[in-house]
Structure 1
């Protein structure tokens, strides 16, 4: 990918993260922000929105760091296991392991006596469903071999990026962070093919230009 398209990816993902967090923030923390809407305090609403967008920028940068790390790990994995099928099998095991930990560890750590395990299962299932849906879109854009790596990225990498708030387990922050991460990660995964194609076309145009 050309440096121009890397910058484009960075800036657009930054915008996606900021806007998503701005919207999600008002929804998941509505009880906290409702008074400023009922009083129609525009200055306060604007200041909160700017703060949420700033937080979204941080989430976006974290998402992009995870994406670039994933691209490196994916190449590294293919180099080690020498075949897509074997590397995919390893990724499936890691996906299952992360989903299990997302339920079991969180339930054991944070659940109080009498709490149901199903809300924890529901969160893991939601991430898996979103990951599978994004992976299905990725397959339509590329090939069926992209399905497992895409699910791996959407589940495993997103969960790793999510760890800072998972450790605190503050509900509003848990949901405030997960939605922007999923949106940013999905955006990067789905736009990558288009940017790679554009970069290739740009290189071909440069190569065809006659030397002066």
Structure 2
């Protein structure tokens, strides 16, 4: 990827994180922010909006760190296991363990005596459903081989990035960060192949321009060369 497209990816993902967090933040915490709108407290509304956008930028940076880390891990995995099918099998196993831990560890750490385990399946099913849709769309845009890596990234990478809030189990932050991370991760995953294709085209165009300039320079030198006699 060219530096220009990398900057474009970074800035656009920041925008996705900021906008998503601002919208979801107002929806999730509407009971808290509703008086601001009822009493037309513009300063409070704007300050809350700026605060949510900044938090969205932070979630976006975490998402991007996880994304580029996964790209590195993916290459290492292919190199270590020497087989795409074997590496995909390892990723599937890690996906299953990740979803299991999301349910089991949260239930063990935060459930009160007598609480049912059923509500703790909700976030896992939501994460799996969103990840399956994103992975399917990625396959539709690229090829079948992208399904497992996309599913792994959307589930396992999101869980790793989500850890600070998972430890606290505060409901509002729990879903706010989850949705923001999913939005940023999905966006990066879907846009990556398009930016890579643009980068290849830009490199080819630059190479053609360089070759053209070199030919013109050589031609000009021949035309201006003094005769030997």
Query: What's the C-alpha RMSD, in Å, of the aligned pairs?
Result: 0.7
Match of 1:70 in 2: 70
Q: How does 1:8-27 map to 2 (within 5 A)?
A: 8-27=8-27
Match of 2:123 in 1: 123
Match of 1:140 in 2: 140
Match of 1:199 in 2: 199
1:202 deviates by: 0.0
Name the stretch that deviates more: 107-116 or 18-27. 107-116
- Structure with the greater alpha carbon radius of gyration: 2
1:184 aligns to 2:184 (yes or no): yes
Q: How does 1:6-155 map to 2 (within 5 A)?
A: 6-155=6-155
- Give runs of ≥4 in structure 1 deviating > 4 Å: none
1:114 deviates by: 2.0
1:176 deviates by: 1.0
1:136 deviates by: 0.2
- Give the total of aligned pairs: 212
Other structure's SS at 1:116 match: coil
5+ residue gaps, structure 1, are none
1:75 deviates by: 0.6
Other structure's SS at 1:172 match: helix
CA distance in 1 between counterparts of 2:120 and 2:10 reads 32
TM-score, normalised via structure 2 length:
0.91
Other structure's SS at 2:146 match: helix
Could you report, residue by residue, the CA deviation over 1:190-210 in whole angstroms, capped at 9, with x for unpaired residues? 000100000000000001112
CA distance in 2 between counterparts of 1:115 and 1:2 reads 52
Could you report, residue by residue, the CA deviation over 1:57-111 in whole angstroms, capped at 9, with x for unpaired residues? 0000000000000000001100011111000000000000000000000000001
CA distance in 2 between counterparts of 1:184 and 1:91 reads 21
TM-score, normalised via structure 1 length:
0.99
